[in-house]
Amino acid sequence: MVELKRDELHASVCDPVSASMNFLNEVASRYPDAIPLAAGRPYDGFYEAEDVHRYLDAYLSYLRSQGLGPDEVRRQLLQYGRTNGQIHPLIARWLERDEGIRVPPAAIAVTAGCQEAMVIALRGLCAGPRDVLLAGEPCYVGITGAARILDIEVVPVPETAHGVDPAAVAVVARQVRASGRRPRALYVVPDFANPSGACLDVPARMALLDVAEQEDLLILEDDPYGLFGVDDRPRPRLKSLDTRQRVIYLGSFAKSVFPGARVGFLVADQTVVDQAGRRTLLADELSNVKSMLTVNTAPIAQAVVGGVLVEADCSLRAANREKIAFYRRNLALLLDALERAFPPSTRDSAGIRWNAPAGGFFVVMDVPFLADEALLERSAREFGVLWTPMSFFYAGGGGERALRLSHSCLEPEQVEEGVRRLARLVAALA
């Protein structure tokens, strides 16, 4: 019998964040009737297994319309494929049409979810132990986890209520440089971040691009929630404002199509120069990482997402009208329910507060007690409601008295009932 010592395995195996997420899932499975205000997954009701066949057919018809014969179509779907994928021209059309992002299709790499895009970008950019990633904190666990797998240090930049502060990014970048390390990139979710719900205003976006230029940083812009604003106000993507090629855009189809496709992408239109002065596209260089990670993104999964794009004439905004309306209503319901459950007359004195994000899946609530795993378990057992401790999203302490609440996978009635149950928990701790 071989017995391996756990503390001799890589740090990512014992990642405390994975342990916390596993704990949350385990509590959810032990209390299946608890309302999951913790879960950030999209609403199930939008997906039908039969639709997958229709999307596949739409994509195959598209390939034929591009002049591919039966053998080529079969190969395209069932063979190993181009490392950076095959639906990049459709993604390029969608990005231009919906988001005003104009990039050559060759600058797009289709990945196994946004998660793989993060790993590829980090691996390609960070050459050694001196290269560190800056990230707004509280921070999405997917990027800190990816960095941990790769032994890349993450230096937090504390977020304000309005998201990451460009001036604070500059300060942290300089501190990192003064310590002999290189701040290689900043990770940011400008629209309705996970977990904070924060959204950068346009001046802050412009300032962040200026800071990236001044401090010689790249920006990893992660955008899974940008479609789901509470109104149609334009919120330009950093990448659409990026005239100096500072931004690597990370995309996910998990919410705009469905998570089961496991398809995402990155846009890396920067130029790479070698010692002989030869110039290549960063996306092409990063394909060397991708080829050793997953060879290429499953062509069948790409074909399904490709079919969605073809059917929607490359407008995911149009294709997602129903989802956008659903998530807007659920967010409004969540905020209304909080307002009713915690009236202003009592909440201020009790130290209860929450933010009102302009979109997305998450609201953060400050509470006057320790919101830790023990309380989460009690909340599920005695009160039938689950939430996520905000402390999960801080690497070095923070968020101990705050909860992340999500509405995305719930029926509207469950949102209201979930908040009523949460109010009972809070009352019991008063």
Judged by the rule CB under 6 A, the positions of this chain that interact with ligand PLP are: 40, 113-115, 140, 142, 189, 194, 222, 224, 252, 254, 259, 264
Q: Is the CB of 252 or the CB of 320 nearer to ligand PLP?
A: 252
Taking the complex as a whole, the smallest distance from the CB of residue 361 to ligand PLP amounts, in Å, to: 8
Residue 254 or 385: which CB sits closer to ligand PLP? 254
Measured from each CB, the residue nearest to ligand PLP is: 113
Pairwise CA distance, residues 185 & 127, whole Å: 12
Cβ atoms 187, 220 nearer than 8 A: yes
Please identify, using beta-carbon distances, which residue of 38 and 423 lies nearer to ligand PLP. 38
Q: Are strands 218-222 and 353-354 parallel, antiparallel or unpaired?
A: unpaired
CB of 398 to ligand PLP, least distance (A): 18
Q: Which is nearer to ligand PLP, 60 or 296 (CB)?
A: 296
* Identity of the residue, 85 or 264, whose beta carbon is nearer to ligand PLP in the bound complex: 264
Quick one: which of 314, 321, 362, 367 has its CA closest to 341?
Answer: 367
Minimum separation from the CB atom of position 191 to ligand PLP (A): 10
Contacts by 33-36, CB closer than 8 A, 24 or more apart: 33/384, 34/379, 34/380, 34/384, 34/385, 34/386, 35/384, 35/385, 35/386, 35/410, 35/414, 35/417, 35/418, 35/421, 36/386, 36/406, 36/409, 36/410, 36/418
Task: Report the distance separating Cα 147 and Cα 144, nearest Å.
Answer: 5
Question: Smallest distance, Å, CB 259 to ligand PLP?
Answer: 5
Q: Quick one: tokens of 388? A: 């996520």
What's the min distance (Å) between Cβ of 188 and ligand PLP? Answer: 10
In the complex with ligand PLP, which residue's Cβ is closer, 166 or 264? 264
What DSSP state is assigned to residue 43? P
Q: Report the nearest approach of ligand PLP to the CB of residue 221 (Å).
A: 11
User: Residue 313 CA to chain centroid, in angstroms?
Assistant: 25
> Toward ligand PLP, which CB reaches closer, 255 or 421?
255
CB of 118 to ligand PLP, least distance (A): 8
The tokens describing 118, both together, are 């993060």
CB of 223 to ligand PLP, least distance (A): 8
Least gap, CB of 121 to ligand PLP (angstroms): 12
Q: Are 283 and 267 in contact (CB under 8 A)?
A: yes
DSSP states along 235-286:
---HHHH-TTS-EEEEEE-TTTT-GGG--EEEE---EEE-TT--EEEHHHHH
3-state secondary structure of 414: helix
- Complex with ligand PLP: residue 264 or 384, whichever CB lies closer: 264
Burial 226-265 (b: 16+ CB within 10 A, else e): bbbbbeeeebbbbbbbbeeebbbbbbbbbbbbbeebbbbb
**Cβ proximity of 425 and 385 under 8 Å:** yes
> Residue length, the chain?
430
Q: Is the Cβ of residue 184 or residue 404 nearer to ligand PLP in the bound state?
A: 404
Nearer to ligand PLP, 114 or 341 (CB): 114
Smallest distance from the beta carbon of 32 to ligand PLP, in angstroms?
22
Q: How far is the CB of 195 from ligand PLP (least distance, A)?
A: 8
Longest distance between any two alpha carbons in the chain, whole Å = 71
Q: Measure the CA–CA gap between 332 and 7, rounded to whole angstroms.
A: 46
Rank residues 256 and 383 by Cβ distance to ligand PLP and give the closer one.
256
